[in-house]
Amino acid sequence: MASWDSYDQKVGPQASDRRSSLIAPLVRLARRGSLLIATDFDGTIAPVVRDPRRARPLPEATAALARLAHRTPVAVISARDLANLAIQCPVPGVLLLGSYGLEPWMRLTRDEPLPPLPPPSKRLMRLARDLETITGWLPGVQVEAKTMGVAVHYRNSPEPRRAAQLVRRIVDRVAGDEGLDVVRGKLVVEVRPPRSGNKGTALAAILDRIHPRGCVFAGDDLGDLPAMEELHRRSDVLELAWAIGILGADASPLLLEAADHCLDGPRAWAWLLQELASALDRVAPGHRERPIAPAGR
């Protein structure tokens, strides 16, 4: 695993040359429109904030993704439901996959309205109310009803480690009683219907649809590991298959183990995307590739 950390970015030409050398293979595939650039949202192109509703992608990341989408397929795969993701990540030409890929949609123009989306089921709404009641005594814990699941956030807890143990125990018990799956992430635990997929199945669906010659996927959390594992399973049939870990202060050792390369936070990933877009412009200014065809449209 190669590591590009904040110190690395300050030490001069050698570090810059090393990072630039990694861009060359990406350019080679992207110039043919055969590189799938897939990325997580929270903690990857958008810094993690105390209120998830206020999360916004870095402007340089969205600008780079929009430029890249003219040249090669680009996808954002998120645990957020599609309605939320589309508001937070309005990038034309990018395939948005909400709810771990269960809700795919391509925004072709910035002003295109979001298609009608189903509200959370009555069962999930009931489950959200139950979890709000059970966790109500825990300060800083918030329950979010989503289209395909219920998330319990404890990022605002004054004692996140203690809250993590309590929340996980509560959610595991409720999920067991309801026959639901549990997905753990940074300062959040989510319950979802069984066998409803993950970011690995979402990435597999895109790869099977467009058959690119290479793929790079960036993520920062445990929920991104299935996508990295799916990419590694296909490394023998892809010319390039890179899992990029976006590191934060609380990065999991499992992420470090799964990633082929690591970057120090969302700004470093945005830098790489910008450099890739600029390199493609230098190769063939004005060239436009046919965009990815989204599922269901």
Helix (H, G, I), strand (E, B), or coil: what is residue 246? strand
40 is catalytic: yes
User: In 3D, which of 220, 227, 229, 225 has the Cα closest to residue 264?
Assistant: 220
pLDDT at residue 16, as a whole number: 58
d(CA 59, CA 75): 17
CATH number of 122-192: 3.30.70.1020
Counting beta carbons within 10 angstroms of the beta carbon of residue 213, is it exposed (0 to 12), middle (13 to 18) or buried (19 or more)? middle
Q: What would the pLDDT profile of 30-41 be if each residue is shown by its tens digit?
A: 999 999 999 999
Q: Where, residue-wise, is CATH 3.30.70.1020 in the chain?
A: 122-192
CB of 191 closer than 8 Å to CB of 127: yes
pLDDT at residue 49, as a whole number: 86
CB of 79 closer than 8 Å to CB of 183: yes
Active-site residue, selected from the candidate residues 40, 81, 220, 221: 40
pLDDT at residue 119, as a whole number: 85
pLDDT one digit per residue (tens) for the chain, 297 residues: 544 443 344 334 454 555 667 899 999 999 999 999 999 999 999 998 888 888 899 999 999 999 999 999 999 999 999 999 999 999 999 999 999 999 999 988 888 888 888 888 999 999 999 999 999 999 999 999 999 999 999 999 999 999 999 999 999 999 999 999 999 988 999 999 998 889 999 999 999 999 999 999 999 999 999 999 999 999 999 999 999 999 987 888 999 999 999 999 999 999 999 999 999 988 755 444 444 554 444
- For 58, the token pair is 């870095």
Q: Using alpha carbons only, what angle is made at residue 61 by residues 238 and 278, rounded to the nearest 5 degrees? A: 70
Q: Where, residue-wise, is CATH 3.40.50.1000 in the chain?
A: 2-116+197-283
Residue 17's contacts (CB-CB under 8 Å, 6 or more residues apart) are none
Q: What would the pLDDT profile of 232-242 be if each residue is shown by its tens digit?
A: 999 999 999 99
pLDDT at residue 288, as a whole number: 47
pLDDT at residue 213, as a whole number: 97
Contacts 24+ apart (CB under 8 A), 23-29: 23/272, 23/275, 23/276, 23/279, 25/214, 25/240, 26/214, 26/216, 26/240, 26/276, 27/276, 27/279, 27/280, 27/283, 29/72, 29/212, 29/213, 29/214, 29/239, 29/240
Domain 2-116+197-283 has CATH 3.30.1240.10: no
pLDDT at residue 12, as a whole number: 40
pLDDT at residue 191, as a whole number: 95
